[in-house]
Amino acid sequence: MKLTKTLMASTALTVAAGAVVAEDMAMEMTLVSWGGAYQASQHKAYVEPYLAANPGVTVTWDESSGEAVAKLRAMDEAGNVTWDLVDVVASDSMRLCDEGLAEELAHDDVLASAPDGTSASDDFGDLIVSDCFVPQIVYSTTFGYRTDLVGDTAPTEICAIFDLEAYPGKRALQKRPIDNMEWALYCDGVEKDAIYDTLGTPEGVDRALAKLDTIKDQVVWWTAGAETPQLLADGEVVMGSTFNGRLFSAIAEQNQPIGMLWDMQSFDLDGWIVPANLPADRKARVMDFLKFATDTQRLADQAKYISYGPARASSAPLVGKHEELGIDMAPHMPTDPANAGNVHVYDYEWWADNRDDLDAKFQAWLAK
Amino acid sequence: MSGLPPYATTPQRVWYYSFRVICALIFIFLITPIIIVMPLSFNAQDFFTFTPEMLRLDPEGYSLKHYRDMLGSDGNPVTGLWIGLAIGVAWAAFGAYRRGGLTATSIIPVLVFGLFGLIIGKLTGATGDWMVALRNSLKIAPMATLLSVSFGTLAAIGLSQSHVPFRRAIMAIMISPMIVPLIISAAGMYFFYSRIGLQGTYFGVVLAHAALGIPFVIITVTATLVGFDRSLTRAAANMGADPVTTFFRVQMPLILPGVISGGLFAFITSFDEVVVVIFVGSAKQQTLPWQMFTGLREQISPTILAVATILVAISIALLTTVEILRRRSEKLRGMSPS
């Protein structure tokens, strides 16, 4: 009798304790990312150690970052936000923040400080481009070329893409005005500092499109990052732009005859946002995960699996070797001094103001 | 050499050969995209490319790694296989006991149950993307089919009664999911299911797929009911059978071919469906077509080709089985195979 009572009491206690934990922090999370090698690197560097430290938590990945803005709008409208943490590019984070779909964060309060005590906001520095955005990586959109199809002189500077005489053959470019317009103006002789001023005038836009016109019939337009490596591997194109991590994987992991052209690479950021107005238990869980996943060591660990630069200054010295290949990762980072000699710094704010207008002009030009 | 009569004129001869060439071209057009996928799925590289090694038929150029990727290394295939074999042996033994002896066909249930055990065991506890997606598809499609067949058959029988008011209007509403563009139904379902808490749940996806499958069942069952003689139900009632008995003993066996083909359509609709599940489901209900869709968009990996090859093999096996069964039943009924 006594035994039964004790048992019942302890069961009741366990249940109550369980209920308290459940109220504090949800045990499930849905993380949204881009799929492929990038998502795999996040899983290995952040999620696996977090799950090991927090048994009972389950994580579901949704490969929907490509349409994150549209889906979050629909979820908000339907009053049913099922995502807990969303990986987006910097410009999407600004749109989501402006529309009130992403939670504004006090970075120093919710994120871990660097090991030497530097506050999170100083450690991330300028990369915190919006109050809702927690940067993870710096990546670049840059060119790869087929080493066996470019003849004796491999291209070393960006304007090779417009040089059909020296490098005949198809080129792969992303189907959007961003980067392509800037590269066109730069190769048409506009000073780097004056690119956005020139692009701000109707004549500048025409000038960029006229430059692109010179190679238009030799361009294959891509929309997904996996396309250019595939086209290069097939030999369908001589050179093509894509995200540097995709090229690294084709070169180092797949041993394709591809070379990197880092000149005028276009830097961009990728990071997390937390959807606005999550229920308290889910928010508590996701903030706990976010603090862990963006600390100095975790960001440095991610670079073991993919060649994207960690967004924290304090992570850079910790970047080591590739987990499987054992090669040094630092020389493959877009931020490495040898690669970052001539960099195109893409202007978020300018594009936020002019995107719709230029998208329309670019699409009209494409259809011509 | 040819079936041309000696008196055929030149235009007839030209037409005779060009007709065959056109047929061959159409055949090639239909079959090449399916065939080309198969050798590529054994590619040793991670690209959709015929490498020089592959073209030289060098074994180095080929590998099974994409199949290994797809299968993953976890799950309990061996346990499943043993349980399946045990059930199969018990089944065969029971059959042998009833028939009074083992026959060559006793091996069939052992093989079938063994195979099912193997697959179910493999899918239980597997964590790879593709195995989880396959498990989700196999959890959703049969339930959706069951609901479609039950409701669709009942609706068809009801709507074929002449005294039901507004038959045409009701019929039009019931088959509208088949006519309205899928993306419209999907968006509507998304907002409606979100309000009532069904969005992102297993049950929600099953219901949505059932709604898509019902029109197929209604149409096929209605078609078989046209040839159904109503006096049979009256005769059954006359002999004291209640409506439920009449349905299961008289009507059901006669309309069964329509029910089965409607069920097959409903199953394939759910198994192939990608638009509605993206809206109504959440990442936890990611089905096989959804996984293929995101896989193709985000990472062009030949694992998709391995999956495609296996799906083609399964389709061929299913069609062959159905054809063998059909011929067998025709033979049993004393009909000559047509």
CA closest to A226 among chain B residues: B299
Residues A262 and A278 in one domain: no
CA closest to A59 among chain B residues: B284
pLDDT above 70 as % of chain A: 94
User: Which tops the pLDDT comparison, B192 or A11?
Assistant: B192
Range from A3-17, A322-336, B53-67, B80-94 carrying the lowest mean pLDDT: A3-17
Contact of A112 with A295, CB cutoff 8 Å:
yes
Q: Taking CB atoms and an 8 Å limit, are B282 and A60 in contact across chains? A: yes
pLDDT above 90 as % of chain B: 34
Total domains in the fold of chain A: 2
Of B200, B298, B300, the CB nearest to A34: B298
Q: Is A74 on the interface with B (CB under 8 A)?
A: yes
> Is 60 exceeded by the pLDDT of residue A7?
no
Q: Is A36 on the interface with B (CB under 8 A)?
A: yes
Of A63, A75, A82, the CB nearest to B294: A63
Of A36, A74, A253, the CB nearest to B298: A36
Residues A210 and A293 in one domain: no
Q: Is A324 on the interface with B (CB under 8 A)?
A: no
Q: Please give the mean pLDDT across all residues of chain A.
A: 88
What value does the mean pLDDT take over residues B5-24? 91
How far apart, in whole angstroms, are the C-alpha atoms of residue A226 and residue A174? 11
Burial of B12 (0-12, 13-18, 19+ CB in 10 A): exposed
What value does the mean pLDDT take over residues B217-232? 89
Confidence of residue B173 (pLDDT cuts 50, 70, 90): very high
What value does the mean pLDDT take over residues B162-168? 87
> Is 50 exceeded by the pLDDT of residue A348?
yes
CB pairs under 8 A between A and B: 67
Where in chain B do CATH 1.10.3720.10 domains reside?
128-301
How far apart, in whole angstroms, are the C-alpha atoms of residue B304 and residue B296? 8
Q: What is the pLDDT of residue B255?
A: 87
In a domain, A166, yes or no: yes
User: How many Å lie between the alpha carbon of A263 and the closest alpha carbon of chain B?
Assistant: 26
Nearest Cα to B301, choosing from B20, B49, B103, B21? Answer: B49
User: Which tops the pLDDT comparison, A133 or B97?
Assistant: A133
Of B190, B282, B300, the CB nearest to A230: B300
Task: Give per-residue pLDDT as tens, B206-222.
Answer: 999 999 999 999 999 99
Chain A positions touching B48 (Cβ under 8 A) are 230, 234
Residues A52 and A200 in one domain: no
Residues A42 and A146 in one domain: no
In a domain, A9, yes or no: yes
Q: Show the tokens assigned to B266.
A: 């409903």
Print the SS3 string covering B201-245: CHHHHHHHHHHHHHHHHHHHHHHHHHCCCCHHHHHHHHCCCCHHH
Q: Is B190 on the interface with A (CB under 8 A)?
A: yes
CA closest to B200 among chain A residues: A82
Residues A56 and A93 in one domain: yes
User: How many Å lie between the alpha carbon of A227 and the closest alpha carbon of chain B?
Assistant: 7
Q: What is the pLDDT of residue A143?
A: 95
Residues A18 and A53 in one domain: yes
Task: Give per-residue pLDDT as tens, A191-228.
Answer: 988 999 999 999 999 999 999 999 999 999 998 888 89
Confidence of residue A13 (pLDDT cuts 50, 70, 90): very low
Contact of B262 with B221, CB cutoff 8 Å:
yes
Residues A208 and A352 in one domain: yes
Q: Taking CB atoms and an 8 Å limit, are A78 and B190 in contact across chains? A: yes
> Is 80 exceeded by the pLDDT of residue A119?
yes
Q: Residue A351: give the domain boundaries.
A: 140-268+337-367
> Is 80 exceeded by the pLDDT of residue B10?
yes
User: How many Å lie between the alpha carbon of B300 and the closest alpha carbon of chain A?
Assistant: 6
CATH number of the structural domain spanning residue A68: 3.40.190.10
> Is 60 exceeded by the pLDDT of residue A15?
no
Other Cβ atoms less than 10 A from the Cβ of B309: the count is 21
Task: Give per-residue pLDDT as tens, A280-336.
Answer: 999 999 999 999 999 999 999 999 888 898 999 898 888 888 888 888 888 888 888
In a domain, A262, yes or no: yes
Q: Taking CB atoms and an 8 Å limit, are A80 and B194 in contact across chains? A: yes
Task: Give the best residue of B51, B205, B297 to mutate against chain A (max A CB count within 10 A).
Answer: B297
Nearest Cα to A230, choosing from A218, A219, A242? Answer: A242
What value does the mean pLDDT take over residues A121-148? 92
Residues A38 and A127 in one domain: yes
Q: Taking CB atoms and an 8 Å limit, are B298 and A62 in contact across chains? A: no
Task: Give per-residue pLDDT as tens, A137-184.
Answer: 999 999 999 999 888 888 999 999 999 999 999 999 999 999 999 999
Q: What is the DSSP letter of B106?
A: G
User: How many Å lie between the alpha carbon of B68 and the closest alpha carbon of chain A?
Assistant: 17
Residues A203 and A279 in one domain: no
Q: Taking CB atoms and an 8 Å limit, are B299 and A35 in contact across chains? A: yes
How far apart, in whole angstroms, are the C-alpha atoms of residue B210 and residue B142? 10
pLDDT above 70 as % of chain B: 97
Of B195, B200, B298, the CB nearest to A35: B298
Q: What is the pLDDT of residue A139?
A: 92
Chain A positions touching B304 (Cβ under 8 A) are none
Task: Give the best residue of B195, B199, B298, B305 to mutate against chain A (max A CB count within 10 A).
Answer: B298
Q: Please enumerate in sequence order all residues whose Cβ is within 8 A of that of A111, keeping only pairs 6 or more positions apart, or say none.
A: A105, A120, A134, A290, A291, A294, A295
Residues A240 and A111 in one domain: no
Residues A85 and A219 in one domain: no
Identify residue B177 by its one-letter amino acid code: P
Q: What is the pLDDT of residue B190?
A: 93
Q: Please give the mean pLDDT across all residues of chain B.
A: 87
Task: Give the best residue of A82, A86, A243, A247 to mutate against chain B (max B CB count within 10 A).
Answer: A82
Q: Taking CB atoms and an 8 Å limit, are B194 and A79 in contact across chains? A: yes
Superfamily name and number for B128-301: MetI-like (1.10.3720.10)
In a domain, A330, yes or no: no
CA closest to A80 among chain B residues: B194
Q: What is the pLDDT of residue A20?
A: 43
Q: What is the DSSP letter of B101?
A: S
Task: Give per-residue pLDDT as tens, B273-329.
Answer: 999 999 999 888 999 999 988 887 777 778 889 998 988 888 888 778 878 877 776
Q: What is the pLDDT of residue B335?
A: 55
Of A78, A225, A254, the CB nearest to B46: A254
Output the DSSP codes for A97-140: HHTT-B----HHHHSPPPTT---HHHHHGGG--STT-EEEEEEE
